[in-house]
Structures are given as structure tokens and as C-alpha cells.
A = this chain, B = another copy of it.
Amino acid sequence: MHKVDLSKYNMRSDLIIEDTSKDFTKESYQEKDIQVDYIQLDSNNTLKKKKGDYITISFNDITDSTNFNNVLSVLVKELKRIFKLTKIKDNDKCLIIGLGNSKSTPDSLGYETLKNIVVTRHLYEIGDVSKEYRNISILEPNVLGNTGIESKDVILGVVNEIKPDFIIAIDSLAALNIDRCQKTIQITNTGIHPGSGIGNNRGEISKDTIKIPVIAIGIPTVVSSAVIVNDTLNYLMKKISYHKNNYAKDKLINKNNLNYLKEKSNLSQEEKEELLGLVGSLSDNDRNELIYEVLNPIGYNLIVTTKEIDFIIDKLGKLLGEALNKSLNFDLQ
């Protein structure tokens, strides 16, 4: 197998948690079935990612109201942490930006979130607002393909006029793993490159370009076909590996044991080749590249989303909106 240029297949993830190992994790904890990982990168990090703080919240469900409230409570706590890490002050004025495209359901997370934000900046202008509320305004720059204008240019222009102290930007992301899709929230004070995960480059939105702190909140809502194929081959190897090692045990316990999902496949190289031939003999990276090489030239490396996306986006927009209202304002919890 010849070597391919990874970057040309856009295999860079929007999610730092998919790029990284335990080495960079400063703190991890679990609350009920919700996992939180806090990664801090310095300027010379080997991931070649921006210096700053990255918080990843992984959850299983928010469609049930108890689960929703559990995730909400963790999210509020972690938003407050990032505000502190970013040195946001209580009276700092916030501009919340909903990136993406309200007319494309999987890309409308920003729009759906903004619907739920309590806006107060205009009330501050006329002095008509109680102290528990922060000065908050919202902006929906829409996407280049719809407006002819880079999101970044709209944001920069508006920031120059209304001079907020910091920005919170909401965006839909792409994931490199099926089980992160719609089940992970990434919060970072390093800003974002809208669309970078799915191969667009619409201008960085960060303190470097906008001159004020930019906290980005992203949730992956799409994956590529190649991700689905690669994940499936991995699950296949994990499953065979697990069954090989736990054959006797499983007989005694239950059939639907999904523990293997959490473990690495420990098939030997020989076993992998037996199972998947040449494809099994490849390293993870090379196998991934091969799949891109098969799908991309024929236009079948589709960016896909789940059938239930309308329902999920509605729920996620409510979750983010409510969490922002609770973390940005005071004594409203």
C-alpha cells in the first residue's frame, strides 16, 4: 500500500478527544454515565493544536428528561470552568454566535441554540434589566454559500461596532467516530475554524483574528461514510477478539455483553490478517486511507447524519441554550 497524504482526505477531526491520548488529559471524571475530559495544551504541543483548554463532555442520551437534566448540570459546571480559565469577569459583555445554516438541519445547531437565549443587551442600553442578568447579545452570520459573506467578516464587523468583551460561538461539527456523533460536547477557549472538520475553510474565529476571547462550543452532528466503514471494521475486530477471549465466560453470563466496545482489539497481526486479509494487515491509519481512496474518487464518501436529526437538533439546541442562560447569568440556577 503506498502512502497517501492524510490531509487531502480531511481526516482531521473537529474533536480533540479523537486526536489525542491520555497523556494530555489534565483531569477526567465521571458523573452518572457522563464522562468529562479536560485537556490543556501548551504552545508546543505535539498535536499541533492551538494552545488552550479543551473540555469534552461525553454522554449517552439527552432525549429522556432525567438524562437531559444530568447532562445540563455537568455542562453548566464545565461552562463556568471555561469562563474561569478564560478569565471572563462577571460584568463582561457576551456576544453569542450561532454558526451554520438554519436551512440545513444537521448544520442548524447554532440557530436552534440562539432561539433559547435570553437576550439583554438592548435592555442594558435603556437601563431596564435586573442585576442577575449579564449583558448578552446574539448574532447569526449564516454561511458563505447562502450570503456570499464569510462568517468571520460578519462577526468582525459587528464586534467592531458593539464591542463585546468575549464571544461564545456554537457550531455543528463532524466526528471521526460513530459513537461520538450527537453524543459529545466540546468546549474550548481556542476558538474555531468553521467547517474545518468537513473540508471547508471559512476563516478562523479566535482571539488571534477577532481580538477578544472566543469560547467555542461544538457538537458533532455528522460523520462521513468512511468513518462508518472504518468503525465497523474496528467493531468487527473487537467483537471477534472479545469472543475469542471470553467464550466460556459469556456462555455463563449474558449474550448482549457489550463490554468489548470499550476495549482495544487484542487480535494478533496474524489473526487480523486471517479475518480481514490484506485490509486487516494494514495499520489503522493505512486502512482508513484505503477506505478514503475507494470512496472519494467515486463521490460516495458522503457526509451523513441520522434519520432523527430534526428531533436531536431541537433537543441539543434546548440543552445548549438552557446551559448558557444558567452559566452566563447569576443566581438563576
Which A residues have a C-beta under 8 Å from some C-beta of B?
A: 103-107, 119-123, 136-140, 142, 144-149, 153-154, 156-162, 178-179, 198, 222, 225-226, 228-229, 231-233, 235-236, 239, 256, 258, 261, 272-280, 290-291, 294-295, 297-298, 300, 302-311
A120 to chain B, nearest CB (A): 6
The answer to whether residues A232 and B225 also contact, given A145-B122, A160-B157, A161-B156 and a CB cut-off of 8 A, is yes
Query: How many angstroms from the CA of A177 to the CA of B303 in the assembled complex?
Result: 16
Q: Which of B106, B278, B305 contacts A274 (CB 8 A)?
A: B278
By secondary structure, the A interface counts as helix
The answer to whether A306 touches B302, judged by C-beta atoms less than 8 angstroms apart, is yes
* Chain B residue nearest in CB terms to A290: B236
The answer to whether A291 touches B232, judged by C-beta atoms less than 8 angstroms apart, is yes
Q: Which of B137, B232, B256, B295 contacts A147 (CB 8 A)?
A: B137
Query: How many angstroms from the CA of A331 to the CA of B64 in the assembled complex?
Result: 20
* Chain B residue nearest in CB terms to A159: B157
Q: List 17 A-B contacts (CB under 8 A).
A: A104-B310, A119-B148, A121-B149, A139-B149, A139-B154, A158-B158, A228-B229, A228-B304, A256-B297, A272-B277, A274-B277, A274-B278, A275-B278, A276-B276, A276-B279, A276-B280, A304-B305
A56 to chain B, nearest CB (A): 20
* Chain B residue nearest in CB terms to A306: B302
A3 to chain B, nearest CB (A): 17
